Chains A and B, each alone.
Chain A
Amino acid sequence: MIKFENVSKKYDNGTHALKDINLTIDKGEFVFVVGSSGAGKSTFLKLMMREEVPSTGSITVEDTDLTKIKKRDIPKFRRRLGIVFQDFRLIPNMTVFDNVAFAMRVIGTKEKKIRRRVPYVLSLMGLNEKARNYPQELSGGEQQRVALARALANNAEIIIADEPTGNVDPQMSYEIVDLLMRLNESGTTVIMVTHEHSLVRCFDKRVIILDKGTVVSDGGALIREAATSHINAVSEVSNEYVVPPEEDYSAYTQSRQTPESQEDSEPLEIQEDFSVAGGDE
């Protein structure tokens, strides 16, 4: 459970990025966080990753109070998160396999375990064939799936995806959200930040809309529509935010019931610890 209580964040340069945020995200929930640029989305994520601390208020992730966590405990806390960035952040001179393995190596995982775990998470993302390729040989969508595989490598409890579809074509965007959805169905909490309203509309999930540092809407489909129009209205007046051209995702929504590439749309079963016989090492 992630809990924001009266959280405000004011940067040293005077920017008031978040104002009195109160929200709770339950374990196993799937949440879209939507907002124009400058709405406070990135601050929201940074606070959740403990890259920033709130000026006032408190943030709790599961049983960890992020405002009180000791600095030396931050790395341990981060290991519970799987973070996916808009720009993938794959290391260009490492193969797909090594990119995923890197996340495990840097937290001191044994090579033996890595050799078993990496092919498994790659297969979840449908990337087994690409293990020996380098990131630049892959499409944007594939690269983002590698990043997702990396986020999964360490059994993250919470996946935080920062505009994961920003650099990916529409079909692939849909597939990536679909993958996140399936991860979520297997029990992982997923928080996805995006500004693609049309994509959000394809999925019936909770949407938190941020605007100028406050939550203007938090809830399901109906409120979501209302809030979207609110943002559109605001941006028309202030001209701060131009809604991107609506992508037509309806084809993919239908294809979700009868997928072409992925035959099964069952939830991805992520084994907590991919150990066939040995147990934890």
Chain B
Amino acid sequence: MGNLGYLTKEGFRNLKVNKLMSVASVTVLFSCLMLIGIAFMLLVNIEAFISGIESENVIMVYVDMEATDVDYIKLGNDLRSLDNVAAVENVDKEPAYEEILSELDEGLRTYLSGLEENPLPDAYRVTVSDMSKFNDVVNEIKHLSSIERVYENSTLASQLEGIRNSVTYISLGMIALLLVVSLFIISNTIKVTMFSRRLEISIMKSVGATNSFIRWPFMIEGITIGIIAGLLASAAVWGIYEFGLSSLTTMLSGLGTGVQVEFIDYAPYLLAAFIGIGVFTAVFGSATSIRKYLKERKFVELED
């Protein structure tokens, strides 16, 4: 049927004629997509934050103040010879001391800089290659000599691991639920639109319009609703994200890392997914509801 132009026009006319319904559908789909988007960005951020923490999950080994330079070097070699150690690096105590001093108030700073010796111990930063054997490495290090203190945050790491899992499951569950909700709502909206146009459908049927012809304007309508809702939702998530990011990063950086996820990196995926979801729900919704609707009306058997 070489009348795609007419059908498409008809779809847009339907949108205009049923303005309220179209606005309602766009709003509903938009809200669902926006929630999905926010859940997704939250998930991505938490994911990035935890990976950040993990990559910083190092063991600080502070060297005994009494230790000589020879002891210090020996300890370094011992650490390097351990299994499961990716890297061992010297921590220069001078810049660390400077940094601490700069954060103190004037008087204390002057007093401390008067001291000849740097009170900080020498230290090694040990990076573990296999995180699952983190605790074994810590135990081995504790048995080495010339060590004053071993500092590690494995508890934090394992806690974060747990948080990550639950966050992932909750977000995925939420996204799935919202998808179902939007599908349901869109197909319902289309059903209502279709009901309001049952007269047209019955006339179409009686003059011999094919089923695909009848379906097409509804499809166009649904797809347009999907695309508009997708675009709006992407824009909204972007806005909300940029606005909320600053507070989010502040909150997370309090936990020790400054990982920042840029919205723009995920924007194309999000936009594609949104429009995809919008179009899918619209097409699926209109296909199923027209089927069901026409069947109920018994204007004609539906299979073509």
Which residues does A use to contact B, with CB under 8 Å? Answer: 49-51, 71-72, 74-81, 83, 85, 89, 91, 93, 102-103, 105-108, 111, 150, 154
Contacts and interface: CB of A to CB of B under 8 A. Distances in A.
Interface in B267-304: 298-301, 303-304
A81 B301 CA distance: 18
B304 A106 contact: no
Given A106-B213, A108-B213, A71 B206 contact: no
Interface string B204-223: 11111111011000000000
Nearest to A82: B207
Contact of B209 (A49, A51, A75, A91): A75
B6 A79 contact: no
A85 B199 CA distance: 12
Interface residues of B, number: 26
A89 B301 contact: no
Given A106-B209, A107-B209, A108-B2, A74 B203 contact: no
B108 interface: no
Contact of A107 (B202, B208, B301): B208
A101 B129 CA distance: 75
Contact of B207 (A74, A93, A111, A150): A150
Interface in B186-243: 199-200, 202-211, 213-214
Contact of A72 (B17, B299, B304): B304
Given A75-B209, A106-B204, 4 more contacts: A72-B210, A93-B17, A102-B203, A108-B2
A79 B207 contact: yes
B100 interface: no
Nearest to B5: A111
A209 B304 CA distance: 35
Contacts of A51: 298-300
A77 B206 CA distance: 10
Contacts of B213: 106-108
B70 interface: no
A75 B210 contact: yes
A194 B203 CA distance: 21
B1 interface: yes
A42 to B, nearest CB: 12
Given A91-B199, A93-B17, A107 B207 contact: yes
B206 to A, nearest CB: 5
A92 to B, nearest CB: 8
Nearest to A92: B199
B159 interface: no
A78 B213 CA distance: 14
A74 B17 CA distance: 30
B208 A76 contact: yes
10 contacts: A72-B210, A74-B208, A75-B208, A75-B304, A83-B206, A105-B3, A106-B203, A106-B204, A107-B209, A108-B3
